[in-house]
Structure 1
Amino acid sequence: MTQIHSQVLKTRPDVSVCRLSMMGSQDASGSEDCPFCQIANNQTDTEILLSDEELVCFRDVKPGATHHYLVVPIRHIDNCKTLQGGSIPLVERMEKMGRSILEKNKVSNLDDVRMGFHLPPFSSVPHLHLHALAPASKMNLKSQLHYGPQSHWFITVDKVLSQLRTRGKVK
């Protein structure tokens, strides 16, 4: 959080961290209605499993696998298509937190995971969120359609990083 954000919070405690982050941010168009902003700002009873100054991790309410977690930035970012080359460290930290929650929950085979993002307009919540699912080999047909390798609306974290490194944008 910047010094300006800290100042605003002292004088305006009603302003959420997410709204503060949106001030002056071109890639953020979130609102107080965004459910992931509400979770990130502790305005719900959702259990936060891991967090740091930039990210929060919690269980998906409609799990597509035995282990299905979401990693979201506290700062509102609409979706993976709004990411640019400078977002690479953020995506890498999101992936690291996704792997950490899987390890913490004793997922033994980290090669049998699916980690990625839904492409708009197929995002259920318009706030960037990484899905971390395991074991991928045991996902049912419906989950395979939503998160599997043949899904046209799910892009893996590796592909997002590759596109950011080569094009500077996710296509």
Structure 2
Amino acid sequence: MFQKLFHWIVGKPQPPHYQLGNSQSCIFCRAYSTNRSDFDIVWEDEVFVAFRDIRPSAQDHIQLIPKTHIDSIKKLSQKDVNMLRRMEEIGHSILDTYNVPVSKRKMGFHIPPFNSIHHLHLHVQSLPYISPVHRLKYPFVRGFGGYEKGFSWFAEIGQAIRILEKGHRVTVAPC
């Protein structure tokens, strides 16, 4: 029972992908390659693609992914800060098209092992959440002391950028 609830909240574990580029076994890689019709694409350029989440947790729930296969936020380093800044900019642009007030926006990443798909994806959401249980999947935990983020399986986009700018890695533990 607990395992079913846990998998429902954070998703079932998926096998890791280590190569960059189009991974045929990665479902999100198909959003920009073979089975595009399986995705409700809402925005795209040469580097990123955004599509509606098939099981939305919020009023509007978009996944924004790079077209290069990157496993997760844990694989990023200081050299990836500009990519995250661009993802944040795109996320705000998408939410602007839905007229979502800034106070009702949430964007961030699940941190392995608490991500359901092993392809870097920014959750771009307009609140409210569909239910209190859905809200539990995206906890925002402020940092303390010299930490940007507290213990949490979710990192808000701004937190992730600040952590990487300092040369640290984004993890579940405070960072």
Q: Using structure 1 for the length normalisation, give the TM-score.
A: 0.77
Q: Which amino acid aligns with 1:158?
A: G
Q: How does 1:56-67 map to 2 (within 5 A)?
A: 56-67=49-60
What does the per-residue CA deviation read over 1:28-47, in whole Å, with 9 as the maximum and x for residues that have no partner? 38620101100122523112
Residue 135 of structure 1 pairs with residue 127 of structure 2: yes
Larger radius of gyration: 1
Q: Which amino acid aligns with 1:37?
A: C
Q: Which runs of 4+ in 1 moved over 6 A?
A: none
What's the counterpart of residue 95 of structure 1?
Answer: 88
> Cα–Cα, structure 1 residues 63 and 94, in superposed 2: closer, same or farther, change >3 Å?
same
Identity %: 32
- The structure with more strand, counted as a fraction of residues: 2
8 Å contact kept, 1:30–1:77: no
Question: Runs of 5+ in structure 2 lacking a partner?
Answer: 1-16, 142-150
Q: Which amino acid aligns with 2:93?
A: S
Q: What do you get for the CA RMSD once the two structures are aligned?
A: 2.1
8 Å contact kept, 1:70–1:98: no
Local SS of the residue matching 1:121? coil
d(CA) in 1 for partners of 2:34 and 2:105? 28
d(CA) in 2 for partners of 1:100 and 1:93? 10
Local SS of the residue matching 1:120? coil
Residue 86 of structure 1 pairs with residue 86 of structure 2: no
What's the counterpart of residue 37 of structure 1?
Answer: 29
1:81 Cα offset (Å):
0.4
Q: Which amino acid aligns with 1:55?
A: F
d(CA) in 1 for partners of 2:140 and 2:51? 24
Q: Using structure 2 for the length normalisation, give the TM-score.
A: 0.75
What's the counterpart of residue 153 of structure 1?
Answer: 153
Question: Runs of 5+ in structure 1 lacking a partner?
Answer: 1-21
Residue 123 of structure 1 pairs with residue 125 of structure 2: no
Local SS of the residue matching 2:104? coil
